[in-house]
Amino acid sequence: MSDIPSPAPAAANPAGANLYALLQAHFPADREACCIETQEGLRYSWDEVDRSSARLAGLLAGLGLPAGARVAVQVEKSPEAMLLYLATLRAGYVYLPLNTAYQEAEVDYFIGNAEPSLVVCSPRNEAWMRGLVARHRVPHLLTLGEARDGTLLEAAAGRSDRFETVHRAPEDLAAILYTSGTTGRSKGAMLSHGNLASNALVLHRYWRWRPGDVLLHALPIFHVHGLFVAIHGALLNGSTMIWLPRFDPKAVIVRLPRATVFMGVPTMYVRLLDDPGFDANACRNMRLFVSGSAPLLPDTFRQFEARTGRRILERYGMSETTMLTSNPYDGNRIAGTVGLPLPGVRVRVVDEAGASCPTGEIGAIQVRGPNVFAGYWRMPEKTKEEFTADGFFRTGDMGRWDANGYLSIVGRNKDLIITGGYNVYPKEIESYIDELPGVFESAVIGVPDRDFGEAVTAVVVPKAGEQVDAGAIVASLKSRIANFKVPKQVHVVAELPRNQMGKVQKNLLRERFGG
């Protein structure tokens, strides 16, 4: 199975208008109903969301920002931060969220590259941010704190609570998301109003959002998963969001009985399973658990089902494309796979010559659809390089079609190990190691080797209270896989390094064990 087309979705926005107009059109009739409930018990009605975003949009418009201006935002998660995102869309500008973990030197690059007209930062970072803003000649700097403090809200307080949403065509730019930049400089993926609207509508139908759904939101909102997938889904459905400033297992467990939908990264599900209070009773009203942003271990999938009676739905997406594939809502959800192409999305797996790979054969994943980005910010040559002649985006991921028609991801192309002339895909080896007794998880990397070019190396984390023997792991693998795939070295560590979205940072492992 090489190229699976799916039925095209309905028109994303019949007026070809601003994404905010689409979301606003789906607000519930009862505008006094609760849209957001915070951990502290604050409640924001749908009417308040509309009026508050209008004030902020009015403020942005009043600054005299040029058409297409970028609004760079590095603030902690809060309802006001979401309102700023909506206001930026509403005013017709381009939203640029920045990971809150980025330090001054990293933010310096983003501001220099994106050239925003406005930067909004946390009050505690104002001093060093002011230096960057001056260096890059950014006209405006405002602050927004977690406790509804800062100069942004002060400046917006006197604005009108009515604002006519600026018209935008589907191809107009709505957001720029910078890639993680684990290899080389980060690239700014340009996402249009049409990209985001089409994906939101498809997921709304595919995941069966329904009246009465309540989203428990514990993800950060500088990333596709928390900002676009979760928030757009709830807003498009008119659903209440129970809003947590950050993930905390006990805070999630306490609120789960009031929720029906939860979206998380694999680390969150592991932490929930570590808590004895997480059980079927806590999940009694839940209908959908979604996992993404990093691979979910099959063992975690099985443990979760055994504990709760529910199967996690795993999906596949990228900053450049939003969501691409998903395990089905009604059909079988299979551990270790990312399911089928979403409606309107085409996915193909090809070999080095560009020919379709047969079922079971590993190849490069390429995608095309209304959700796929326009290109990289100010990188026309890189953009051209990443698209095929017939318009497919080269994701950089390697995968295969399984016999059931589902897509499985085996790793990033940059993680491919070439040892003695043979190709080794880390995910395949990791899947064997993770099944061994006492192993919690593993990461397989290639390190420089005089004889083989690269040597297959495994980094293994044992289960709590258990021990694993490197020699036993090697011996077991030798009986199951080709010898060239067997790790030359096995390192046992307490945990794997991860970024904030739960992705294993293999570049750090290569630096640590490359000697």
Q: Angle at CA 272, nearest 5°, toward 82 and 499?
A: 55
Do 22 and 95 share a domain, yes or no?
A: yes
Does 129 lie in the same domain as 35? Answer: yes
**Residue 180: predicted pLDDT:** 63
Is the Cβ–Cβ distance between 71 and 60 less than 8 Å? yes
156, part of any domain: yes
Helical segments of 363-478, H only = 380-386, 426-434, 470-478
Q: Give the closest residue to 325 by CA, choosing from 312, 342, 344, 337.
A: 342
- Kindly state whether residues 365 and 478 are assigned to the same domain: no
What is the distance of C-alpha 311 from the center of its chain?
Answer: 20
In a domain, 409, yes or no: no
Domain end marker among 357, 373, 399:
399
Same domain, 433 and 384: no
Does residue 404 lie within any of the structural domains? no
What dihedral do alpha carbons 70, 88, 240, 202 form, nearest 10°? -70
* 394 and 250 within one domain: yes
| Cα separation, 325 vs 315, whole angstroms | 6
Looking at the fold, whether 295 and 336 belong to one and the same domain comes out as yes
Instruction: Please report whether residue 146 resides in a domain.
Output: yes
* Beta strand 288-291 pairing with 140-143: unpaired
Whether 407 is covered by a domain: the verdict is no
Tell me, yes or no, whether 36 and 155 share the same domain.
yes
DSSP string, 408-431: EEEEEGGG-EEETTEEE-HHHHHH
Angle at the Cα of 314 from the Cα atoms of 312 and 316, rounded to 5 degrees: 165
Q: Are residues 51 and 172 in the same domain?
A: yes
Same domain, 307 and 442: no
Q: Which of 369, 399, 429 is the last residue of a domain?
A: 399
Note whether residue 408 is domain-resident.
no
Structural domain ending residue among the three candidates 366, 399, 432: 399
3-state DSSP: the chain helix, strand, coil percent, rounded to 5? 30, 25, 45
In a domain, 405, yes or no: no
163 and 302: one domain? yes
CA distance readout (Å), 437 to 300, 303, 466, 473: 14, 15, 9, 9
Helical ranges in 75-192 per DSSP H = 79-90, 104-114, 126-135, 151-156
Q: Tokens 């975690």 identify what position?
A: 300
Two tokens, residue 160: 């009108």
**Shared-domain flag, residues 229 and 328:** yes
Domain that holds residue 504: 416-513
Structure confidence at residue 407 (pLDDT): 97
Instruction: Quote the Cα angle for 116-120-126, to 5°.
Output: 115
Number of domains in the chain: 2
Tell me how far CA of residue 16 lies from CA of 94, 171, 383, in angstroms: 17, 9, 25
Q: Quick one: 281 and 430 in the same domain?
A: no
Taking the C-alpha atoms of residue 222 and residue 69, their distance in angstroms, rounded to an integer, is 18
Q: Which residues pair with 71 in a beta bridge?
A: 95, 118
- The SS3 call for residue 200 is helix
Mean pLDDT by 10 residues, the chain (515 residues): 38 61 96 97 97 98 96 98 98 95 88 97 97 97 95 96 95 92 73 97 97 97 95 98 96 98 92 95 97 86 96 96 97 94 98 95 96 96 96 94 94 80 81 92 88 87 94 92 89 91 87 86
Q: Is residue 435 part of a domain?
A: yes
Q: What is the CATH number of the domain that holds 206?
A: 3.40.50.12780
**CATH number assigned to the domain comprising residue 435:** 3.30.300.30
Return the number of other C-beta atoms located less than 10 Å from residue 68's C-beta: 11
